[in-house]
Amino acid sequence: MQKPLKKFSIFAATLLPFECDYLMGIHQFQDAENIRLLKIVAHNSRHPGQAKPYPLRIDKRKYSYLKKWITEKLDAVNVDIFYEWLSIMDQRIMTNALVPEDEKRIINTIRQYQKPGFYFIRLYELVQNYQNFLLIRMRQQYFALASAFLEENKPQYERSRDINLRLHQATPDIVRQYAGYDTEAALWEIWLREVFYNEEIDGLNRYLALVRLVFLYYHNKDYHHLIELFENLEQRFVKGELYSPRILANYYANRLLVHSRHNELELAETYGYLSIRFHSNDYLYYLVNLCAVLLRRGKYTGALQLLNRSFPELKKTNSAYNRVGFIAYYIQALWRNGRAAEAVTYAHTTLQTNRTEILQNRWHLFFSSYFLALLATQKYRDILSLTHRYKLLNKDKKARQRAGYIPCIVWMHQLASYKQRAISREKLYETLCETAIPCLNDHHKFFILSELCHDLKAHDMDVFDQLHQELFKSPQEK
Residue 282 lies in a domain: yes
CA 376 from centroid of its chain's CA atoms: 31
Domain termination site, one of 13, 43, 77: 77
Domain termination site, one of 42, 77, 112: 77
Q: What is the pLDDT of residue 185?
A: 64
SS3 annotation, 226-248: HHHHHHHHHHHHHCCCCCCHHHH
pTM score of the predicted model: 0.91
Query: Any long-range contacts for 55-58 (C-beta under 8 Å, 24+ apart)?
Result: 56/2, 56/5, 58/33
Closest among 53, 38, 127, 61 to 90, alpha carbons compared? 127
Q: What is the pLDDT of residue 476?
A: 44
The domain tally of the chain equals 2
Alpha-carbon span 123 to 117, nearest angstrom: 9
Q: What is the pLDDT of residue 175?
A: 77
Q: What is the pLDDT of residue 171?
A: 85
Residue 11 lies in a domain: yes
Residue 112 lies in a domain: no
Sign of the four-CA dihedral 373, 437, 267, 204: negative
Sign of the four-CA dihedral 319, 320, 325, 331: positive
The per-residue pLDDT string of the chain (478 residues; one tens digit each, 9 = 90 and over) reads: 445 588 999 999 999 999 999 999 999 999 999 999 999 999 999 999 899 999 999 999 999 999 999 999 999 999 999 999 999 999 999 999 999 999 999 999 999 998 889 999 999 999 999 999 998 777 778 999 999 999 999 999 999 999 999 999 988 878 776 555 455 666 889 999 999 999 999 999 999 999 999 988 988 888 899 999 999 999 999 999 999 999 999 999 999 999 999 999 999 999 999 999 999 999 999 999 999 999 999 999 999 999 999 999 999 999 999 999 999 999 999 999 999 999 999 999 999 999 999 999 999 999 999 999 999 999 999 999 999 999 999 999 999 988 789 999 999 999 999 999 999 999 999 999 999 999 999 989 999 999 999 999 999 999 999 999 999 976 444 4
Residue 437 lies in a domain: no
Residues ≥6 apart with Cβ < 8 Å to 448? 406
Residue 290 lies in a domain: yes
Q: What is the pLDDT of residue 118?
A: 95
At 325, which CATH number? 1.25.40.10
Residue 283: other Cβ atoms inside 10 A: 19
Domain termination site, one of 362, 377, 392: 377
Residue 288 lies in a domain: yes
Q: Is 201 exposed, middle or buried (0-12, 13-18, 19+ CB in 10 A)?
A: buried
Task: Encode burial over 397-432: b for 16+ CB neighbours within 10 A, e otherwise.
Answer: eebeeeebbbbbbbbbbbbbbbbeeebeeeebbebb
Task: Encode burial over 173-183: b for 16+ CB neighbours within 10 A, e otherwise.
Answer: bbeebbeeeeb
Q: Is 439 exposed, middle or buried (0-12, 13-18, 19+ CB in 10 A)?
A: middle
- The parent domain of residue 355 ranges over 264-377
Residue 407 lies in a domain: no
DSSP 354: S
Alpha-carbon span 166 to 316, nearest angstrom: 33
Residue 475: other Cβ atoms inside 10 A: 12
Residue 148 lies in a domain: no
Contact call for residues 23 and 46 (beta carbons, < 8 A): no
Q: What is the pLDDT of residue 1?
A: 43
